[in-house]
Amino acid sequence: MLFVPILVVGFAASLGLTPLSRALAMRFGIVDQPNQRKIHGDHKPMMGGLAIYIAFAMTLLLFSPAQHFVELGAVLSGAAFLAIIGLWDDRYGLSIRTRLVAMAFAAIVLIVAGIHIKLFRIAPLDYALTILWILTITNAVNFLDNMDGLAAGLTSIAAGFFLILAITQELSLVSSLAAALLGSAVGFLIYNFNPASSFMGDMGALVLGFVLAVLGIKLEFSQPLSVTWMIPVLVLALPIFDIHLVVFTRLIEGRSPGQGGKDHTSHRLMSVGFSQRQTLFILYGACGLFGLIALILSETPAHLAMRLGIASLVLLGLLFIVMMWIRRRYQVA
Q: How far apart are CA 19 and CA 277, in angstroms?
A: 23
Q: How far apart are CA 6 and CA 293, in angstroms?
A: 26
**Which of 62-66, 68-72, 161-165, 303-307 shows the lowest mean pLDDT across its residues?**
62-66
Q: What is the pLDDT of residue 224?
A: 80
Phi, psi angle pair for 217, to nearest 5°: -70, -40
Percentage of the chain lying above the pLDDT 90 cut:
79
Please name which of 71, 73, 77, 201 lies closest in space to residue 141, comparing C-alpha atoms. 201
Specify the pTM. Answer: 0.95
**Which of 42-46, 85-89, 175-179, 307-311 shows the lowest mean pLDDT across its residues?**
42-46
Q: What is the pLDDT of residue 40?
A: 47
Q: What is the pLDDT of residue 37?
A: 56
Percentage of the chain lying above the pLDDT 70 cut:
96
64, 72 in Cβ contact below 8 A?
A: yes
pLDDT higher at 17 or 257:
17
DSSP run (H or E) holding 44: strand 44-45
First to last CA, the chain: 48
Q: Note if the bond before 5 is cis, omega within 30 degrees.
A: no
Map out the domains of the chain as residue ranges.
3-330
Number of Cβ within a 10 Å radius of residue 186: 21
From residue 218, give the alpha-carbon distance in Å to each of 164, 173, 189, 288, 330: 14, 8, 25, 21, 41
Q: Provide mean pLDDT across the span 102-113.
A: 98
167, 13 in Cβ contact below 8 A?
A: no
Q: Provide mean pLDDT across the span 55-79.
A: 92
